[in-house]
Amino acid sequence: MNLDDTIVAIATPPGRGGIGVIRIAGPEARAIASPMLRLKHDLEPGRAVFGELIELGSCGAPAQARENSVTEDSPNDAAEGEITRPRAAAPDEQRIDEVVVTFFPKPHSYTTDDIIEISAHGSPVVLRHVVELALARGARLAEPGEFTMRAFLNGRIDLTQAEAVRDLIESQTLYQAKVAAQQLDGALSHRLQPIKKNLVELIATLEAGIDFAEDDISVLAGDVIMQRIATVRDPLEELSRSFAYGKIVHEGFTLAIVGRPNVGKSSLFNCLVERERAIVTANPGTTRDLVTETVAIGGIPVHLVDTAGIRRALDEAESIGIRKSLEALADADLILVVLDSAQPIAEEDYELLNHARDRRAVIVENKSDLFTESSIVKSDLPRVRTSATTGAGIPELRAEIQRHIRGDAAKQTETGFLTSVRHQGLVNDSLGALDAASVAVQNHIPHEMLLLDLYSALRPLDEITGATTTDDILNLIFSTFCIGK
């Protein structure tokens, strides 16, 4: 990837809209944009200027216009940061659209390059035409994520912040967006910084003891080295544990609603979804297939799965539905075992409870408005009484679900936790190297060999922030971005 190129892309989503934005970034951004614009005022850093998007009539005009734009007042000859006045209108110019143009000069832009953003009406035809004009005048079409990759390669952001940009774009809930914004602000980097600092100081001390032994620089005793390793390992282990919650924040949480036919599973499903998503009838066995919907509970995307009633199947279709229900039960992060408070406990209820015994599960005693003593079941699982008909207990059920989602995360910091599988793997690699270093100290291995383990612990932490990262990893990360970001 050539960082000296000037790149262009549509920065807004595909389709029609009120506004569409074209982003041009690179050393020739102003020279490329100038011939296609007729502005009311000079461009100024960070100021939006109203103008017109125009097209020249003659075949040779665009190239000539660009040639004319590079004069004694061109960006190549102008003083650093100086903005040239747009060229005068030509008689054969045709207006295409009214636009708002914003200029972000280097190094104070997103990529640290000169950036021109043209906000036009969100017509795909107009936006594509602007891109074609820029390409004809020397720009290159941006690769997916190239603007953010330039920001990273130019030192504007680190790799955790770059990945947070993608997470922010892909957020499904406001809480996910807030977490991504914290990561974009450097929350994870700030949490890693003191850990890396302690590790680097330990490495430097041991290196000094080896290189300058003749100068009587003391070499650390084994118990002191173990204490120094612990100051690195303990916060790193805490960070690793945060992934259990961070993974849920990033990917969501799957919740399966299971039970006998006609206990009110679909009605509860509709209550949680807050609309009539699943068909509800008085006839047992109405739900034959899995019904899924995603809702936000406590800011976390929860993938609800309404399952077929589990009983002895009456036909092949119901048998397939029951098999899918059991598969959903096995795959779910949390299970709601729904019981009918108006009916005695049945054998199928006990079988479901046995399935859920070793899983994260909640007993939901539905139809609480028709409660009978014969419906009471003995179990250590948490339980909530609800009525899908009256709405009683639904807020308590949401609170119980949220408690299971958060787990021990309520005790953890709300910022700087791991949400990426890549980050989790690298933290575990670092912890493994620290374990090896501890064993080396206990076995009185020479410090030269111990340092190999400590460097092995440092490298994965550098890879998290991008201090040392291979091109393959960078390409894998940024290929998941959309074009224009």
Strand order in the sheet with 253-259: 291-297, 300-306, 253-259, 334-340, 361-366, 383-385
pLDDT at 118: 96
d(CA 121, CA 439): 64
DSSP SS3 for 419:
coil
Q: Is the pLDDT of residue 434 over 90?
A: yes
Place of tokens 């291979």: 470
337 & 460 share domain: no
pLDDT at 90: 56
Is-contact 112 151, C-beta < 8 A? yes
Tens digit of each residue's pLDDT (9 = 90 or more) over 173-185: 999 999 999 999 9
Question: In this structure, is residue 48 part of a structural domain?
Answer: yes
DSSP letter for each residue of 250-314:
HH-EEEEEEESTTSSHHHHHHHHHTS--S---SSTT---S-EEEEEEETTEEEEEEE-PPPSS-S
pLDDT at 124: 94
Most confident of 292-306, 348-362, 427-441, 467-481: 427-441
Is-contact 337 268, C-beta < 8 A? no
Average pLDDT over residues 111-136: 94
363 & 269 share domain: yes
pLDDT at 56: 62
pLDDT at 314: 52
pLDDT at 221: 85
**What is the enclosing helix (H) or strand (E) of 237?**
helix 222-241
pLDDT at 325: 73
Q: Is the pLDDT of residue 37 over 80?
A: yes
pLDDT at 72: 38
Question: Structure tokens of 115?
Answer: 């950036």
Q: Is the pLDDT of residue 40 over 50?
A: yes
d(CA 267, CA 278): 8
| Pairing assessment for the beta strands 291-297 and 300-306 based on DSSP bridges | antiparallel
Residue type, 141: L
pLDDT at 133: 93
Tens digit of each residue's pLDDT (9 = 90 or more) over 444-482: 898 889 999 999 999 999 999 887 766 766 777 777 778
pLDDT at 76: 42
Last residue of a domain, one of 112, 142, 172: 142
Mean pLDDT, the chain, whole residue set: 82
Q: How confident is the model at residue 317 (pLDDT cuts 50, 70, 90)?
A: low
Q: How far is CA 386 from the centre of its chain?
A: 35
Q: How confident is the model at residue 64 (pLDDT cuts 50, 70, 90)?
A: very low
pLDDT at 477: 74
CATH, residue 463: 1.20.120.430
216 & 298 share domain: no
Question: Structure tokens of 52?
Answer: 């017109």
pLDDT at 326: 75
422 & 456 share domain: yes
In degrees, rounded to 5, the angle at the alpha carbon of residue 452 between the alpha carbons of residues 449 and 458 is 150
Better pLDDT: 24 or 69: 24
pLDDT at 73: 43
Place of tokens 């849920």: 248
278 & 192 share domain: no
260 & 402 share domain: yes
Average pLDDT over residues 24-44: 91
Q: Which range has the worst mean pLDDT, 39-53, 199-213, 243-257, 381-395?
A: 199-213
pLDDT at 220: 81
Strand order in the sheet with 115-122: 37-39, 48-56, 93-104, 115-122, 17-25, 7-10, 140-141
d(CA 287, CA 309): 7
Average pLDDT over residues 131-149: 93
| Pairing assessment for the beta strands 334-340 and 253-259 based on DSSP bridges | parallel
Most confident of 68-82, 103-117, 352-366: 103-117
pLDDT at 80: 42
Question: In this structure, is residue 484 part of a structural domain?
Answer: no
Domain that holds residue 227: 187-242+415-478
Using a pLDDT cut of 70, give the percent of the chain over it.
81
394 & 269 share domain: yes
| Pairing assessment for the beta strands 115-122 and 93-104 based on DSSP bridges | antiparallel
382 & 317 share domain: yes
269 & 402 share domain: yes
CATH, residue 315: 3.40.50.300
Q: Which range has the worst mean pLDDT, 91-95, 149-153, 184-188, 411-415?
A: 411-415
Q: Is the pLDDT of residue 347 over 50?
A: yes
Question: Structure tokens of 452?
Answer: 């190999």
Average pLDDT over residues 35-53: 90
Longest dimension (CA), the chain: 93
Is-contact 41 100, C-beta < 8 A? no
Burial class (CB in 10 A: 0-12, 13-18, 19+), 478: buried
- Between the CA of residue 322 and those of 262, 290, 319, 339, what are the distances in Å? 14, 9, 5, 17
How many structural domains compose the chain? Answer: 3
pLDDT at 263: 85
404 & 428 share domain: no
Question: In this structure, is residue 159 part of a structural domain?
Answer: no
Better pLDDT: 40 or 437: 437
pTM score of the predicted model: 0.76
CATH, residue 14: 3.30.1360.120
Last residue of a domain, one of 361, 376, 409: 409
236 & 133 share domain: no
pLDDT at 43: 87
Average pLDDT over residues 411-417: 64
pLDDT at 308: 73
What are the φ/ψ torsions at residue 176 (nearest 5 degrees)?
-60, -40
90 & 67 share domain: yes
Last residue of a domain, one of 409, 432, 467: 409
pLDDT at 68: 42
Tens digit of each residue's pLDDT (9 = 90 or more) over 263-294: 888 888 888 888 776 545 454 545 556 788 88
Burial class (CB in 10 A: 0-12, 13-18, 19+), 333: middle
